[in-house]
């Protein structure tokens, strides 16, 4: 297992703080890797999933073979937990191929670098992004949010379909945001549940002219397209599920000095203003506004003040 090493530099300390538990977690990263033996279909599926997920560096794709990985065995899942901790990935997609289970894809999730659940699917039909011409037809915008469409009652009633729905939402959701620009909704993942299969399609959203203000929405299949059958699955225990779903009701907020909230005014702040002596402020003053002349003028009686004022006006007129 990995050694627990204390950070010696600021960069290492920041990296550990980034991996530490938070109230609002980071975007879930996915690790895609191969088993001992794979097929061209499995390699193509992993490559296309990495192409969709890699925006923002949220996917790690290993192309070399990895031995002794058996996700549904207690000892066989230990390498995946090790890789999860090493790469800081909470999602995994494992591809393998054998005579008993051809074109096998395993989706998995981790909680605290330990196995949370697994789902095994067999690919019966596959059409890649290149076969659809997706590189020419569609290029997703950076930071765009996908739509999800789950068609079929099985996604609410069947246990495996519900688990598949949760897997897809976790895998493709990306960063959580408060507001969405409708112009950024440029793609949709369509999943259709049948009796024994699930059909997965990735479509681009095209807005066509309709003759009205509301455009006509057209879905263009850009790949990958997968027809998959359910095989094995592993669900988490009740205690583990409660621990993973536990949330904090409200994030603790640091108290800001001299700032309070009011029901009517909202956010109210107080500022400190020292006593200001206007007479002592260093400003550009006229010759007649000097402090000595003001004080001397203030000491004169009212009649003499008027005489002095008339004299100054007369001098100004002469000049």
Q: What is the pLDDT of residue 300?
A: 59
Question: Percentage of the chain surpassing pLDDT 90?
Answer: 23
Confidence of residue 217 (pLDDT cuts 50, 70, 90): confident
For residues 201-220, average pLDDT: 85
Rounded-to-integer distance, Cα 217 and Cα 232, Å: 37
The structure tokens listed for 137 are: 């037809």
Does residue 112 have a pLDDT over 90?
no
Burial of 264 (0-12, 13-18, 19+ CB in 10 A): exposed
Q: What is the pLDDT of residue 230?
A: 93
For residues 293-311, average pLDDT: 61
Q: What is the pLDDT of residue 136?
A: 53
pLDDT tens by residue, 248-259: 766 667 778 888
Q: What is the pLDDT of residue 142?
A: 66
Does residue 80 have a pLDDT over 70?
yes
For residues 268-293, average pLDDT: 70
Confidence of residue 2 (pLDDT cuts 50, 70, 90): low
Q: Domain 26-245 carries which CATH code?
A: 3.40.50.10480
Q: What is the pLDDT of residue 1?
A: 47
Does residue 23 have a pLDDT over 80?
no
Q: What is the pLDDT of residue 290?
A: 59
Confidence of residue 286 (pLDDT cuts 50, 70, 90): low
Residue spans of beta strands (DSSP E) within the chain: 30-34, 59-65, 91-96, 104-111, 114-127, 147-151, 187-193, 197-208, 216-221, 225-234, 259-262, 266-269
Q: pTM (2 decimals)?
A: 0.71
Does residue 216 have a pLDDT over 80?
yes
- For the chain, what is the mean pLDDT? 81
Does residue 211 have a pLDDT over 90?
no
pLDDT tens by residue, 83-97: 988 888 889 999 999
For residues 222-234, average pLDDT: 90
Q: What is the pLDDT of residue 285?
A: 58
Q: What is the pLDDT of residue 306?
A: 57
pLDDT tens by residue, 128-175: 888 877 555 566 666 678 889 999 888 988 889 999 999 999 888 877
The 3-class SS string of 118-176 reads EEEEEEEEEECHHHHCHHHHCCCCCCCCCEEEEECCHHHHCHHHHHHHHHHHHHHCCCC
């Amino acid at each position: 297992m990995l050694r627990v090493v204390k950070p010696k530099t600021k960069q290492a300390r920041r990296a550990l703080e980034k991996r530490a538990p938070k109230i609002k977690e980071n975007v879930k990263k996915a690790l895609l890797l191969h088993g001992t033996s794979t097929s061209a279909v499995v390699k193509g599926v992993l490559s296309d999933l990495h192409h969709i997920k890699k925006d923002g560096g949220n996917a790690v794709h290993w192309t070399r073979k990895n031995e002794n990985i058996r996700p549904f065995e207690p000892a066989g899942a230990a390498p995946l937990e090790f890789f999860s901790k090493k790469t800081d990935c909470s999602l995994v997609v494992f591809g393998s191929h054998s005579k008993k289970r051809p074109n096998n894809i395993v989706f998995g999730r981790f909680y605290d670098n330990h196995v949370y659940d697994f789902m095994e699917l067999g690919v019966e039909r596959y059409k890649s992004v290149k076969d659809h011409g997706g590189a020419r037809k569609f290029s997703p915008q950076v930071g765009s949010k996908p739509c999800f469409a789950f068609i079929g009652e099985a996604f609410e009633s069947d246990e495996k379909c519900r688990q598949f729905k949760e897997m897809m939402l976790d895998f493709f959701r990306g960063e959580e945001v408060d507001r969405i620009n409708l112009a950024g909704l440029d793609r949709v993942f369509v999943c259709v549940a049948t009796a024994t299969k699930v059909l997965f399609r990735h479509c681009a959203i095209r807005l066509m002219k309709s003759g009205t203000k509301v455009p006509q929405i057209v879905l263009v299949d850009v790949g990958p397209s997968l027809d998959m059958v359910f095989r094995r699955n592993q669900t988490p225990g009740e205690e583990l599920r409660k621990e993973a779903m536990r949330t904090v009701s409200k994030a603790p907020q640091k108290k800001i000095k001299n700032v309070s909230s009011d029901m009517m005014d909202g956010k109210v702040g107080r500022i400190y203003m020292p006593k200001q002596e206007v007479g002592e402020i260093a400003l550009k003053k006229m010759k007649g506004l000097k402090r000595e002349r003001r004080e001397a003028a203030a000491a004169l009686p009212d009649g003499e003040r008027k005489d002095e004022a008339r004299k100054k006006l007369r001098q100004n007129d002469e000049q």
